[in-house]
């Protein structure tokens, strides 16, 4: 694997096996996560996603992100709000050591989150076609985050590395985010989100190039560490398997 790909994928995938469409029971989801932590691709694994009410069922040594207000200290929490301005009073009740993501509608402006330590979260799909935002809408939302310097994560629908006729690809999303973070245009981000061919992207140990754009490994690392943080997936194996089938891993 090239250094550019490894940089882009490191710590990228939060495991959400408890949630649809996988909807595993806790025993199976926990067994999977424990295996992934020991497995050969553990470097690409992020946090275990769990509802706040079920946190007591999770190994306290794991990196966890709870959906809802955290009942104890965890690494991160994720809370849904209608507007970024609604996050401020909620954030005040969350311990400063907990990373707080606020899920916003794709048309909501994330800029008010920049006033504090909050991060943003966006849904990139769901169980029905209407839950997948158009590339232009997603690009605009990520661009707003980049302009305001608000870190974000994505969730839902990112089952494949590259875009399909309906679904966004996680490689498309995070490359477009890295491009926007480093000054790229919304038009370039839209084209990146829409690209379905693996031949359009060239990865090597120096960086990645596509559509006339180029980012170095250092630029990718900066974007991942400070901006495009990761995504939640009900499957960890499916993204890894598809990357392997494409010859990217």
Could you read off the pLDDT of 203-230 as tens digits, one per residue? 999 999 999 999 999 999 999 999 999 9
Domain that holds residue 19: 3-245
Q: Percentage of residues in the chain with pLDDT exceeding 70?
A: 100
Please provide the size of the chain in residues. Answer: 249
Predicted local confidence at residue 169, as pLDDT: 98
Tens-digit pLDDT profile for residues 5-60: 999 999 999 999 999 999 999 999 999 999 999 999 999 999 999 999 999 999 99
Q: What's the total number of domains in the chain?
A: 1
Residue, of 117 and 9, whose pLDDT is higher: 9
Strands (E), the chain: 13-15, 45-51, 64-67, 76-80, 99-103, 119-123, 152-155, 201-203, 207-210, 213-216, 228-233
Pair 243, 249: CB distance under 8 Å: yes
pLDDT (0 to 100) of residue 201? 98
Question: Which token pair is 163?
Answer: 């875009």
CA geometry: angle 183, 43, 234, nearest 5 deg:
85
pLDDT of residue 116: 81
Residue 178 has pLDDT above 80, yes or no: yes
Any residues with CB less than 8 A from the CB of 241 and at least 6 apart, and which?
none
């Amino acid at each position: 694997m090239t250094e550019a790909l490894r940089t882009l994928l490191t710590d990228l995938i939060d495991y959400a096996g408890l949630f649809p469409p996988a909807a595993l029971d806790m025993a199976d989801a926990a067994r999977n996560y424990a295996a992934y932590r020991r497995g050969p691709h553990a470097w690409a694994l992020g946090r275990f996603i769990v509802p706040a009410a079920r946190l007591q069922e999770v190994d306290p040594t794991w990196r966890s992100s709870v959906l809802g207000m955290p009942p104890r200290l965890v690494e991160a929490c994720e809370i849904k709000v209608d507007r970024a301005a609604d996050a401020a009073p909620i954030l005040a009740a969350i311990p400063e050591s907990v990373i707080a993501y606020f899920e916003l509608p794709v048309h909501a402006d994330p800029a008010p989150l920049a006033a504090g330590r909050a991060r943003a979260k966006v849904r990139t799909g769901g169980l029905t076609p209407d839950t997948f935002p158009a590339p232009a809408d997603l690009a605009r939302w990520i661009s707003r985050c980049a302009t305001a310097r608000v870190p974000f994560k994505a969730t839902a629908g990112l089952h494949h590395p590259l875009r399909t006729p309906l679904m966004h690809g996680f490689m498309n999303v995070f490359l477009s985010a890295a491009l926007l973070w480093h000054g790229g245009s919304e038009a370039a981000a839209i084209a990146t989100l829409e690209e379905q061919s693996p031949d359009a992207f060239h990865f090597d140990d120096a960086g990645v190039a596509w559509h006339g754009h180029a980012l170095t490994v250092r630029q990718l690392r900066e974007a991942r560490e400070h901006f495009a943080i990761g995504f939640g997936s009900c499957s960890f194996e499916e993204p890894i398997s598809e990357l392997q089938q494409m010859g990217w891993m």
